[in-house]
Structure 1
Amino acid sequence: MTVHLDCQRRHDFVLLFDVTDGNPNGDPDGGNMPRTDAETSHGLVTDVCLKRKIRNYVSTYAEYEATEEQAKHLNIFVEHHGVLNNQIRRAYTEQGIPTGKPASEVIKENNVLETLREYKHLLPAAFTFTDSEGDTEEDVIATLAYSGELTDAELKEELEKTEEIYQNKAVKKFIDALVKKAGKPDKSRANAEKARKWMCENFYDVRMFGAVMSTGLNAGQVRGPVQLTFARSFDPVLPQDLAVTRVAVTDVKDAEKLQTIGRKTLIPYGLYMMRGFYSPSLAAQTGVNDRDLELFWESLVKMWDFDRSASRGLMAPRGLYVFSHESKLGNAPAHKLFDRITAQLDNPSEPPRKFGDYQVSIDDAELPSGVTLTRLTEG
């Protein structure tokens, strides 16, 4: 087996990537300008930004390349616009773990029925509205069911989000009576552990990155074996804010006006380094296998081609270097291994504008005993 694919080894790794005429990671607190170190003007890309790209690649792989059996274990917990508590709920419902004593009630008041019909899409996921319309009012059988899974505090928080529903006093009275009828949620440690194991088995990002899964039904917390640092550019970058105009207008009265429709923020060029760590002991706790690790390395190289955007310009991987240790505890300090990878400008007096402006050096001579360096992509 190639050593970098062995999930029972410790791995420390470095990813080099660059961006040309794009914004690799906008800061919402700074007008979406590219993130920079305020003191040095070096560019920054957050770990969560990179994890998002990894998640998106794994999700795409699961949809188009994985076998049906493989895809079952490549679900993504932190989905775009996903609801985390709904994902955690699956760990309970798909294993038949009781979430509490459920209750349901037939809706007889027209006022309550009309409100729930209009705003049923706003109901918390713990509630299920079933509407069976008949030819006459007497034939209508509509019910509202509650799973009983939420604590009092969670229930209050969820219902306060549904102001359109809960401000109707008749509906509030109906829901309060339904909740009182249901039992309290079952949050025993045994059930939480069973749910945690199911989440690790079925969700790739939980298995690799870990997650806090006690926000609704309790599936515990998982400390992930893969940890990433922020990526930092080798040299200072210069964020730019450009106006974007259009030749077409919305209304005829604006036909002679120059239309400014937005702004584009970018840096002309930046070469970034991200450092990462893989712990075999934590991987054993979450159930990571060799294929999971192989897919992770694959995603770091290929995810850029599945994350194209006009705002990001041209982003590309320029080097992935994996230091693998014979010992699970490691054979050398990670920071000393990372220091072996450097990038220097050929002409420091000129700002870089392409990867060829750099000389990347890899010191692989006399590696510490028990450490192997694997170069997965370069240039």
Structure 2
Amino acid sequence: MTPLSRRHDFALIFDVTNGNPNGDPDAGNMPRLDPETNHGLVSDVSLKRKIRNYVDLARTGEVGHHIYVQEGAILNEMHRKAYVALRPDDTKAAKDAKLNPKDDAEALKLRDWMCANFFDVRTFGAVMSTGINCGQVKGPVQMTFATSVEPIMPVEITVTRMAATNEAEKKKASEGGDDQRSDNRTMGRKHIVPYGLYLAHGFVSAKFAEKTGFSEDDLALLFEALTSMFEHDRSAARGEMTTRRLIVFRHQNALGNAPAHKLFDRVRIGRNVEGEWRALDDRGLGNLAPARRFSDYVIEIDREGLPEGVEILDLV
């Protein structure tokens, strides 16, 4: 695999229609939002989960593409695999509750084994020192929370279930007439965002990629996942989520040729007013109806006067 030799920064733009992109368990699973601005939030952890799930689907069973953090996994048993691989004649490696590297050289080999076998370890890094110690790794790929470009209005919707859960409940409903059947419905609630357009930033460090083995092939797979991850994450709760744009700034060298924030400022999202771009803070937008579709926005990329050594890849 070709080592990653150039820094990349990217802007991920996605939307949600009639769904909950990331529920907050501390707020009754309402969509996450900034309480001061009412802008919606989607955590970096949520986005990384979707990337992991896509890679697991797309590269199931492939060497080097296993997923370390997955539902139901016992992390210490993942660590044990590294010790068993490096100590094939040590019977204790397969059963001891606690294991530690013998020296710095073995610690490095354990870390490298985890990076080589688990895509998400060499991509996002991991703390692997719980009980069976494989150290920790700082990943080359980091992401921010996604923030909606305009305030969102979460809506709480009541839902009912008409089926009974047991015979006694069914009998009570049938004997009580229409009023009893109505009262006997199982009630529930779901929270949705009617429409929201979200923006997240990501960073890929070629220098940290040298340490984990993150390669050009891994980068291509990461961008593939960012493009397609919502296509395989459908559920009634999440409504319709879609990656709308993936804008990548590729530098010529490992350290980069321009500050990331100046590059991200070149991506401008505004409202579509009769086919023209209008700034989101334009006071005249107060007369517009709330955005309810992607076509209500216009995305512009300033390509003029790019810093030397930086190119823009518009992948979606």
TM-score band w.r.t. shorter chain: 0.7 to 0.9
Q: 1:360 to 1:186 in 2, by over 3 A?
A: closer
Q: 1:83 to 1:148 in 2, by over 3 A?
A: closer
CA separation in 1, counterparts of 2:107 and 2:78? 14
- The answer as to 2:65 corresponding to 1:74 is yes
- The answer as to 2:20 corresponding to 1:23 is yes
Q: Specify which of 130, 150, 163 is matched with residue 98 of structure 2.
A: 150
Deviations 1:41-90 (A, max 9, x none): 00000000000000000000112xxxx7xx11000000112111111111
- Figure out how many residues of one structure are paired with residues of the other and give that number: 291
Aligned match of 2:173: 254
CA separation in 2, counterparts of 1:274 and 1:98? 47
Q: Which amino acid aligns with 1:299?
A: A
RMSD: 1.9
CA separation in 2, counterparts of 1:276 and 1:13? 5
- The answer as to 2:303 corresponding to 1:355 is no
Aligned match of 1:232: 147
Q: CA deviation at 1:247?
A: 2.5
Contact 1:243 1:263 (8 Å CA) reproduced: yes
Q: Which amino acid aligns with 1:78?
A: V
Q: CA deviation at 1:290?
A: 1.3
Moved more, 324-333 or 41-50: 324-333
Contact 1:207 1:224 (8 Å CA) reproduced: yes
**SS state at 1:94 partner:** helix
Q: List alignment gaps of at least 5 residues for structure 1.
A: 103-125, 127-146, 152-184
CA separation in 1, counterparts of 2:90 and 2:31? 44
Aligned match of 1:275: 201
Contact 1:99 1:217 (8 Å CA) reproduced: no
Aligned match of 2:314: 375
CA separation in 2, counterparts of 1:352 and 1:263? 24
CA separation in 1, counterparts of 2:119 and 2:228? 17
Alignment of 1:1-379 (within 5 A): 7-63=4-60, 71-96=62-87, 101=92, 147-150=95-98, 187-250=102-165, 251-252=169-170, 253-255=172-174, 256-258=181-183, 259-346=185-272, 348-349=285-286, 350-377=289-316
**SS state at 2:247 partner:** strand
**SS state at 2:315 partner:** strand
CA separation in 1, counterparts of 2:182 and 2:78? 49
**SS state at 2:45 partner:** helix
Contact 2:149 2:199 (8 Å CA) reproduced: yes
Q: 1:9 to 1:345 in 2, by over 3 A?
A: same
**SS state at 2:312 partner:** strand
* Identity across matched positions, percent: 51
Moved more, 290-299 or 341-350: 341-350
Q: So what's the TM-score if we normalise by structure 1?
A: 0.73
Q: Which amino acid aligns with 2:131?
A: G
Q: CA deviation at 1:299?
A: 0.3
Q: List alignment gaps of at least 5 residues for structure 2.
A: 175-180, 274-284
Deviations 1:161-216 (A, max 9, x none): xxxxxxxxxxxxxxxxxxxxxxxx66533332211110000000001000011112
